[in-house]
Chains A and B, each alone.
Chain A
């Protein structure tokens, strides 16, 4: 099991003249919990999109479980083992919580359209299995009693958790969370950090988190990657990154330093 789940090598994304991501390298092993930080427009979501196939990278390789997946469509990459959530929640709003998760379970379904019309035994067995599986994931996320609620009627925090449940239901080896704490209050954030760790322990999968909230990302990640203007400016443990002058200059800013009472001589460049 020494093979990395994800191995991104020199991934570059270029939109016209804009280099949104330059030579991005990232290797993730099973069970690792890695955070990706950087100021707005640093290329974090672009990196996510390149990995999950939303855009094929301009150059470089994305290797997933030993297989090169550049240029594959997002649904193929999802089937291969990367699931994601979205920065601005993208649930199937008019569907129930259960149906949201059941959509993500559909890959285990072998019965075709005809079987669905004829209600064959194989089809019914598949449906039963999918429903059970979906309910398990809802229960893991503490949403078991909300299974018949429409996604759009759930409170914000629960929508976030439902999105994670849906991503987990695709059976990923790598879970990518795009700003999971956005819009949450302090106590919800603490619960979320707990939850992210629990998911990693329970499912043994690699997790990559983009996060704006420093407390969340510092508290939850074992390793950090810092992006600025598409370039990886630092990587290492949260403690190392926190002390890195380049990071402080690019991202953390003065207010964070004052809050933490850290004094770092910032070179004027």
Chain B
């Protein structure tokens, strides 16, 4: 029975998501469509970073670096295969297949980068990861700006517009399903245990280093996916899209939504993306606004909007039985 329920639960988001997406993509066009797709890409970034910063309690501030790895890998592949067509199918279908290949390759490349960065730095406890990821983000930018093959500071332009609602939607659903399934599995509980108390987790048989690295690699892969989607949406792949400011933006989304709350990250990513669009005129003040937002948040609600909870834990009607137990018992 339980298995049946879970299977239906797992298929439902995909089916419902695809139906909604195809409707949206027909009804929406122009700049709003782009804004919504960028918001979707930000959701992928925020939710995947939440796996590292929220679930596992580590602090990565270089998500844009992994985005860049995925973006450049995907961009290089689509540019190389731009004039190639698979025989026997339409050129459109052929392009889409190549795009899938490019996105997957971007994810793999970002995951490898995540492994290379994570494996040495996650052996240590504490804030080392923040420093290493910050450095990695800068290193990637410098490498790109000095590599003619990657177009240096100008980047790669003339990319085909392959990202659409269906791709972004599938990416969002895949990321969210990944995060939720992980959180509710044994592996996810091991990650939460590391966040709560690393020494105790280790003493209970959790291989903390291995789990931290795996969480980091998964998050990096999804950052790579977001990068691939973004550059095929704006049709331009430059190092300016993947600076520390972008990394910081994602951290703000995760902190704002609540470390460990998937729905919190989704909501924060949506709100921030739309707010940024509304404030396009004053974009230079973006960093100032982030800083102010964080200060206000830390003063008023340091756990973020939702803390570690999900939206249905807060809305009383959907509340599960958790709150009842949480009241505690007699001493």
Establish whether residues A148 and B322, one from each chain, have CB atoms under 8 Å apart when the complex forms: yes
Residues on the A chain within 8 Å of B189, using CB = 95, 99, 102-103, 106
Q: Are B6 and A119 in contact (CB under 8 A)?
A: yes
- Assess the A119–B193 pair: CB atoms within 8 A: no
Contact B200 A90 (CB under 8 A): yes
B 184-215 contacts with A by CB, 8 A:
185-190, 192-193, 196-197, 199-208, 214
| Residues A119 and B10 in contact in the complex (CB < 8 Å), given A106-B205, A128-B2 | yes
Contact of A146 with B326 at beta-carbon distance under 8 Å, contacts A52-B203, A92-B197, A116-B182 already known:
no
Query: Would you call B325 and A96 a contact (CB within 8 A)?
Result: yes
Closest to B189 in A: A103
Contact pick for A153, options B3, B201, B203, B326, CB 8 Å: B326
Q: Separation in Å of the A144 CB from the closest CB of chain B?
A: 12
Measured between alpha carbons, how far is A150 from B196 in the docked complex, in Å?
A: 12
Q: Are A121 and B186 in contact, with the CB atoms below 8 A?
A: no
Tell me which of A25-33, A37-45, A72-80, A213-221 binds B: A72-80
Stretch of A155-163, A227-235, A261-269 contacting B (4+ beta carbons < 8 Å): A155-163
B286 close to A (CB within 8 Å): no
A15 interface residue (CB < 8 Å to B):
no
**Number of chain B residues whose Cβ lies closer than 8 Å to a Cβ of chain A:** 42
- Cα distance A117–B206 when bound, in Å? 20
Tell me if B218 counts as interface (CB < 8 A to partner A).
yes
Query: A79 contacts B325, CB within 8 Å?
Result: no
Known pairs A75-B208, A91-B200, A170-B204; A123 contacts B193 (CB<8 A): no
Q: Is B328 located at the chain interface by the 8 A CB criterion? A: yes
| B206 / chain A contacts, CB cutoff of 8 Å | 75, 103, 106
- A103-B330 contact in complex given A75-B206, A95-B193, A119-B181, C-beta closer than 8 Å: no
Instruction: Report whether A153 and B190 are in contact in the complex, using a CB–CB cutoff of 8 Å.
Output: no
Closest chain B CB from A168 CB (angstroms): 11
B8 to chain A, nearest CB (A): 11
Are A130 and B186 closer than 8 Å at their CB atoms?
Answer: yes
Known contacts being A90-B200, A127-B186, is A148 close to B205, with CB within 8 Å? Answer: no
Q: How far is the CB of B310 from chain A (nearest CB, A)?
A: 13
- Taking the closest CB of chain B, its distance from the CB of A66, in whole angstroms, is 20
The CA-CA distance from A90 to B2 in the complex, in Å, is: 33
Is the pair B328, A149 in contact by a Cβ cutoff of 8 Å?
yes
Query: How far apart are A150's CB and chain B's nearest CB, in angstroms?
Result: 5
Within 8 Å CB of A149, what residues of B?
325-329
Residue of B3, B177, B328 near A154 (CB, 8 A) is B328
Which residue of chain B has its CB nearest to the CB of A100?
B193
B7 and A78 contact, CB distance less than 8 A: no
Let me know if A148 and B326 touch, CB within 8 A.
yes
Task: Determine the distance from Cα of A96 to Cα of B204 in the docked complex, in whole angstroms.
Answer: 16
A166 on the B face (CB < 8 A)? yes
* A124/B204 in contact, CB under 8 A: no
Return chain A residues, CB-CB under 8 Å to B152.
none
Q: In the bound complex, do residue B321 and residue A148 qualify as a contact, i.e. CB atoms below 8 Å apart?
A: yes
Q: Let me know if A116 and B181 touch, CB within 8 A.
A: yes
- A94 at interface (Cβ–Cβ under 8 A)? yes
Label chain A's interface by main secondary structure: helix
Query: Contact: A126 with B6, CB < 8 Å?
Result: no
Contact in complex: B190, A106 (CB < 8 Å) = yes
The smallest C-beta distance from B187 to any residue of chain A, in angstroms, reads: 6
- In the bound complex, residues from chain B placing their C-beta under 8 Å from that of A54 are 199, 203
With contacts A90-B197, A92-B196, A95-B196 known, is A155 near B214, CB below 8 A?
A: no
The interface residues of chain A lying within 8 Å CB-to-CB of B7 are 119
Nearest A residue to B192, CB-CB: A95
Interface centre among A54, A107, A117, A148 (most CB of B within 10 A): A117
Give complex CA distance A131, B193 in Å. Answer: 16
Does A104 reach chain B (CB closer than 8 Å)? yes
B278 interface residue (CB < 8 Å to A): no
CA distance A157 to B328 in the complex (A): 12
Contacts of A119 in B (CB 8 A): 6-7, 10, 181
- Residues of chain B within 8 A of A102, CB atoms compared: 186, 189
> Taking the complex as formed, is A212 at the interface, i.e. its CB lies under 8 A from any CB of chain B?
no
Interface positions, chain A 71-115, Cβ under 8 Å from B, are: 73-75, 78-79, 83-84, 86, 90-96, 99, 102-107, 109, 113
B324 within 8 A of A: yes
Q: Given A92-B196, A106-B186, A117-B177: A148 and B204 within 8 A (CB)? A: no
Q: How far is the CA of A124 from the CA of B218 in the complex (A)?
A: 21
* 13 sample A-B contacts, Cβ–Cβ < 8 Å, listed by A number: A75-B202, A75-B204, A78-B205, A79-B205, A83-B203, A92-B196, A102-B189, A106-B190, A117-B177, A153-B326, A158-B329, A167-B204, A170-B205
The 3 tightest CB contacts between A and B, nearest first, are A148-B325, A92-B196, A116-B185
Q: Can you add 19 more A-B contacts, CB < 8 Å, to A75-B203, A75-B204, A94-B192?
A: A86-B199, A90-B200, A91-B196, A91-B200, A94-B196, A99-B192, A104-B205, A105-B186, A106-B186, A113-B182, A116-B185, A116-B187, A123-B185, A145-B329, A148-B322, A148-B324, A148-B325, A158-B329, A166-B204
